[in-house]
Amino acid sequence: MRHITESGLALIRRFEGYSATPYLCPAGYLTVGYGHVVRGPEDEMYLNEEEALLLLQHDVRRAEQAVLRQITVPLSDRQFDALVSFTYNLGAGALQRSTLRRKVNRSEHADVPDEFRRWIWAGGKKLPGLIRRRAAEAVLYAAAD
């Protein structure tokens, strides 16, 4: 199975940030570690950074699998990393419903960076952090390998 590169993983870590204790993310989800959505009471705990990194790796694998299932064209490492970051942040359902996915699968790669930049809203608000993240993903997607 294909995996995100170290630089792609670093991008996710940078934008997710680390929190040892659960907090409400801007979209209203209880979150801990590096953007892990708390699913049950067993997740509502203190996570040291090593535990958070293990959880991140597990969650990233799910995002990788979603990208591999939903994208039918060959991708460069940077394109794959950008799509995994997007899917990690927004979920497989958002990727599946998106015009971004349709444009990638039609090999309309020049149009894809603009599609990333549309996904900047959470909780009904345009968020500066999402603007920066989507811009970084767009640049990464457009960069030549």
Query: How many Å apart are CA 111 and CA 92, to the nearest integer?
Result: 20
pTM listed for this prediction: 0.96
What residues act catalytically? 16, 25
3-state helix, strand, coil in the chain (%, to 5): 60, 10, 30
Phi, psi for 17 (deg, rounded to 5): 70, 165
Instruction: Domains for the chain: give ranges and CATH numbers.
Output: 6-142 (1.10.530.40)
Tokens (6 digits) for 21 = 């204790």
Query: How many Å apart are CA 13 and CA 6, to the nearest integer?
Result: 10
Angle at 113 between CA 13 and CA 11, to 5 degrees: 10
Nearest to 119 by CA among 79, 89, 80: 89
Largest alpha-carbon pair distance within the chain? 44
pLDDT tens, position by position, for the chain (145 residues)? 999 999 999 999 999 999 999 999 998 999 999 999 998 776 667 899 999 999 999 999 999 999 999 999 999 999 999 999 999 999 999 999 999 999 999 999 999 999 999 999 998 999 999 999 999 999 999 996 6
